[in-house]
Amino acid sequence: MKSTFHLFSCHAARLAMILATVTALRAQTPQPIPAPAAGAAAASESVGIIDFEGAPVRAVLDYYARLTKRSIIAAPNLSGVVNFRSQTELTRAEAIQALDSVLAVNGLAVVPLGEKFLKVVQIAGAKQEGVRVGINESAVLPTSDTLVARVIRIKYAELTEVTTALQPLLHAYGQIVQLAQSGSLLVIDTANNVNQMLELLKHVDQPYELRMETKIYQLRYAKAAEAVQRIQTMLQAAQQFKPKAGATTPAPGPVPAARPVPPTPTPTADASVVETKVILTPDERTNKIFVLSRSKDFALLDRLVAELDVKVDPDVITQIVELNYANAEEAAMLVNAVITGGSISGAASTRRSTRSSSSTGSARSTTTAATTTPTTFASPTVRVGSSGGAALEAGGFLENPETVRVLPDTRTNTLLLMATKEDMQRLQKLVKSIDTNVPQVLIEVIIGEVTLNNETDTGVDIVNRVIKAGPASLYGGTMTGDSKGPLPLNIGATPIGMTPQGAALSSALTYWATFRNLNLDAVVRLMASSGRLKVLSTPVIQTLHNQEGSITVGDSVPVATSTLSDVVYGGGTNQVTSGLRANVEYKDVALELKVTPRINPDGFVTLEISQKVNELGPEKNIGGIVVPSIQKREAESVVMVKDQSTVVLGGLIKDKKNRTQTKVPVLGDIPLFGWFFKSQQITDERNELIVFIRPVVLRTDAQTSAEALRRSQLLDVGKELQLDKKIAPSTNTPPPAVPVPPATAPLTEPRRGTTPSNLKIGR
């Protein structure tokens, strides 16, 4: 027992010695003191331009640690990237201030921990991480987004009133705690927000007579900015009736502890409104009015706001707008689509989309009998059209889009507009911008069939030889040719290529060449006189920009689809057939051409061409019914050509076998023996479809009139109608057609179906 007590005494003595040593060392070691504040030179030290583009948060914190010369203790759940770039060089103090704001925007807060560490946590939970509490009310907070805690003493106002007034300025992660025993508020928020609250408290925390309160009005019908303007106008008018005698309202400032004697109230209620300044601020984003005034002034403000914030039917007016150029129905669809934010669709858009999908590649087709076998050549895929654009907010340019009505009247080609006075002016400007004059395009087309001599010859080769062999009068001026295709022309021209002004798009109908200032009338008559060209059609189409023009020339041929025998059974085994009945269906055998021109400012015309040629073929016996076959040749193409230039399209070739029988009269008709006196020859004939297209852009009335005069002269009707006296010629009229001199060699008689020599065709 004694030894145990002795052992315990020894341990106690040792423990006492250790404690004494630690106490002595602690007394000798100085307590850590705050690091001295950096001087003006250190704070103004330039750190250059800060550039964080997609930088991780960890990298930003490392840079922040170097600026503050403190170690960072970061929470484990910090992630994300930071984007910040300063436009000028920053000092060290400015860089720290900027990074505090950048971290706050990204939901992070920096909390000082001692003199050497900084704790970085999520800003929502930073107030539990030991934020320093400031009590000195005279200290000025730094202008930054650093999270701070401040105890604010309230002298006159109620804590509940002040809390309600400061609550709208508080961040979502901020907090206001009422300290009722000390009559103070504990505010936890960024330094900038706390400074704003302190500034607001200078007006709110006043003696009862001078105290100003904050009130927020939420408007439903009226606009906040307009309501504030009207209220301020009325208050300024009431200010004129303020009595000059009376006590002067003291300015906000240091208030003594004792309450001052309230000033003598004026007898007029309206005058009391303007005794102190009423601060009204509209918020157009939320349509609210923020008011800072005395509590007794809100009774009048409540009545004013209630009278202004009432539902008023807009003053809708009606107006009829006459359209000069646009179609009423299409214009109404476009305006309604702009107002509602919808999309428009129609035949034009459907047609363009259909052609865009089919205008891919190029083809050279060979037609035999009624079957078309295309042979596709390698070519790049071409897509027509474009997409995109900027999005337009539905009705964003109107004040009251829900009251707008746009109705078309197709009978008078007018628009009936219903809108408010303010919106009516905007609608009229929109309709005026839509109702503009668009240029017209006169398209001269010659569709012909060229007889080929051999397997390698093409129609464009024949055209080339005719142009080279013909006289110089084939050109009305200088001629340049552009070629592109499987067999380009060799006329010293440079291929167009894929340039913006000379790009050529081709589809089933191959693009061959472009001739400028070519006398097309002379070329076609010279080719027709030689018997090589059969003119199928010479249509002239005049249409508007981006509007389809079409022409169809041909017949409808009856074709028997089925027959029905009427049989009457008599007595016995006799039967009597009364007759046959046939069901007939009409088939179109015609030439159809559709052209959609698009004019660009550079003087080029983009043509969407769709051509169909149907011809009667040999008859066939199907089930005892003799029906004709119909040979079809269809082509679609998109080309770009210069104004008043001629583009040549070709490539659709048809093979046909011709049977020629010769016999000796009388002897050749003897049955059986007649074969010895007659012969039969089968020849192959190859024909190629050639299309000459010449667009003429008519931008003004003078150009339209001059073109009408030129065409009337070609048809020999100008003198009879005396159009030359009524129409002034245009300065840019193409050169007149030059007659072709007779050829040196006698020309053969044109075959049946060719163009006679006196046919006049526009250039």
In the predicted model, is pLDDT for residue 479 greater than 60?
no
The mean per-residue pLDDT over the stretch 552-559 comes to 83
The mean per-residue pLDDT over the stretch 560-569 comes to 63
* Torsions phi, psi for 730 (to 5 deg): -85, 155
For the chain, give me the number of helices (H) and strands (E)? 17, 30
The pLDDT value recorded for residue 564 is 67
The pLDDT value recorded for residue 417 is 92
Q: Tell me the three state secondary structure of residue 528.
A: helix
Condensed to tens digits (0 to 9), the pLDDT of residues 639-692 reads 888 888 888 877 677 777 777 778 878 777 788 777 777 777 777 777 777 888
Strands 371-377 and 362-368: antiparallel
- Parse the chain into domains and list their residue ranges: 45-130, 134-208, 530-568+579-715
Nearest partner of 556 among 591, 586, 585, judged by Cα: 586
| Angle subtended at Cα 355 by Cα 541 and Cα 654, rounded to the nearest 5 degrees | 75
User: Where does the pLDDT of residue 343 fall: very low under 50, low under 70, confident under 90, or very high at 90 and above?
Assistant: low
Task: Tell me how crowded residue 222 is: count the other CB atoms within 10 A of its CB.
Answer: 20
In contact, 762 and 644? CB cutoff 8 Å? no
51-55, 347-351, 445-449: least confidently modelled range: 347-351
In contact, 87 and 77? CB cutoff 8 Å? no
397-411, 440-454, 489-503, 638-652: least confidently modelled range: 489-503
Distance in angstroms (rounded) separating the CA atoms of residues 19 and 222: 78
Percent of the chain with pLDDT over 70: 60
| Angle subtended at Cα 45 by Cα 39 and Cα 49, rounded to the nearest 5 degrees | 150
Report the length, in residues, of the chain.
763
To which H or E segment does residue 46 belong? strand 46-48
Condensed to tens digits (0 to 9), the pLDDT of residues 100-109 reads 888 887 888 8
DSSP secondary structure letter of residue 325: S
* Torsions phi, psi for 372 (to 5 deg): -110, 120
pTM, rounded to two decimals: 0.42
The mean per-residue pLDDT over the stretch 602-607 comes to 87
Q: Which two tokens stand for residue 215?
A: 């009130």
* Amino acid present at 645: S
The CA distances from residue 449 to 460, 463, 517, 610, 654, in Å, are 11, 12, 23, 17, 10
User: Where does the pLDDT of residue 43 fall: very low under 50, low under 70, confident under 90, or very high at 90 and above?
Assistant: low
* Torsions phi, psi for 636 (to 5 deg): -130, 140
DSSP 421-450: HHHHHHHHHHHHHHS----EEEEEEEEEEE
> Of the ranges 154-158, 227-231, 249-253, 737-741, which is most confident?
227-231
The pLDDT value recorded for residue 122 is 76
The pLDDT value recorded for residue 511 is 52
Condensed to tens digits (0 to 9), the pLDDT of residues 235-246 reads 888 776 655 443
Distance in angstroms (rounded) separating the CA atoms of residues 239 and 241: 5
Residues near 316 by Cβ (< 8 Å), separated by ≥ 6? 403, 418, 419, 420
> Of the ranges 3-12, 29-38, 596-605, 718-727, which is most confident?
596-605
In contact, 82 and 106? CB cutoff 8 Å? yes
Task: Tell me how crowded residue 407 is: count the other CB atoms within 10 A of its CB.
Answer: 14
What does the radius of gyration of the chain's CA atoms come to, in whole angstroms? 48
Q: Which two tokens stand for residue 599?
A: 């004019």
The pLDDT value recorded for residue 578 is 54
In the predicted model, is pLDDT for residue 36 greater than 90?
no
> Of the ranges 35-44, 49-58, 476-485, 574-583, which is most confident?
49-58
User: Where does the pLDDT of residue 139 fall: very low under 50, low under 70, confident under 90, or very high at 90 and above?
Assistant: low
In contact, 404 and 418? CB cutoff 8 Å? yes
Q: 515 versus 611: which is more confidently predicted?
A: 611
Q: Which two tokens stand for residue 642?
A: 């210069």
Q: Which residue's entry shows tokens 């295709």?
A: 485
The CA distances from residue 171 to 123, 145, 187, 190, 213, in Å, are 11, 11, 11, 8, 21
The pLDDT value recorded for residue 571 is 55
DSSP 257-311: SSPPPPPPPPS-HHHHHTSS--EEEEETTTTEEEEEE-GGGHHHHHHHHHHHS--
The mean per-residue pLDDT over the stretch 137-146 comes to 71
The mean per-residue pLDDT over the stretch 557-582 comes to 63
Considering only the top CATH level, what class is 45-130?
Answer: alpha beta
The mean per-residue pLDDT over the stretch 408-432 comes to 89
In the predicted model, is pLDDT for residue 249 greater than 70?
no
In the predicted model, is pLDDT for residue 477 greater than 60?
no
- To the nearest 10°, report the CA torsion of 742, 746, 749, 751: -90
The mean per-residue pLDDT over the stretch 222-230 comes to 92
Residues near 428 by Cβ (< 8 Å), separated by ≥ 6? 319, 321, 417
| Angle subtended at Cα 650 by Cα 645 and Cα 653, rounded to the nearest 5 degrees | 165
Q: 609 versus 749: which is more confidently predicted?
A: 609
Task: Tell me how crowded residue 328 is: count the other CB atoms within 10 A of its CB.
Answer: 22
In contact, 755 and 533? CB cutoff 8 Å? yes
Q: Tell me the three state secondary structure of residue 42.
A: helix
Q: 445 versus 758: which is more confidently predicted?
A: 445
The separation between CA 762 and the C-alpha centre of its own chain, rounded to angstroms, equals: 41
Same fold, 45-130 and 134-208: no
In the predicted model, is pLDDT for residue 418 greater than 80?
yes
Q: 357 versus 572: which is more confidently predicted?
A: 572
Task: Tell me how crowded residue 109 is: count the other CB atoms within 10 A of its CB.
Answer: 23
Condensed to tens digits (0 to 9), the pLDDT of residues 709-731 reads 777 666 654 455 444 444 444 44
Q: Which two tokens stand for residue 294?
A: 């005395």
The mean per-residue pLDDT over the stretch 522-546 comes to 75
In the predicted model, is pLDDT for residue 227 greater than 60?
yes
H helices present in 87-178, as ranges? 92-105, 159-166
The CA distances from residue 395 to 311, 335, 342, 722, in Å, are 21, 10, 11, 54
User: Where does the pLDDT of residue 528 fall: very low under 50, low under 70, confident under 90, or very high at 90 and above?
Assistant: low
Distance in angstroms (rounded) separating the CA atoms of residues 254 and 619: 115
| Angle subtended at Cα 555 by Cα 553 and Cα 559, rounded to the nearest 5 degrees | 150
DSSP 155-197: SSS-HHHHHHHHGGGS-TT-EEEEETTTTEEEEEEEHHHHHHH
**134-208 placed in CATH 3.90.1150.10:** no
Q: 689 versus 364: which is more confidently predicted?
A: 689
Q: Which two tokens stand for residue 102?
A: 């950048």
User: Where does the pLDDT of residue 749 fall: very low under 50, low under 70, confident under 90, or very high at 90 and above?
Assistant: very low
User: Where does the pLDDT of residue 119 fall: very low under 50, low under 70, confident under 90, or very high at 90 and above?
Assistant: confident
The pLDDT value recorded for residue 15 is 47
In contact, 253 and 206? CB cutoff 8 Å? no
Helix, strand, coil share of the chain (percent; to 5) = 30, 35, 35
Distance in angstroms (rounded) separating the CA atoms of residues 609 and 443: 11
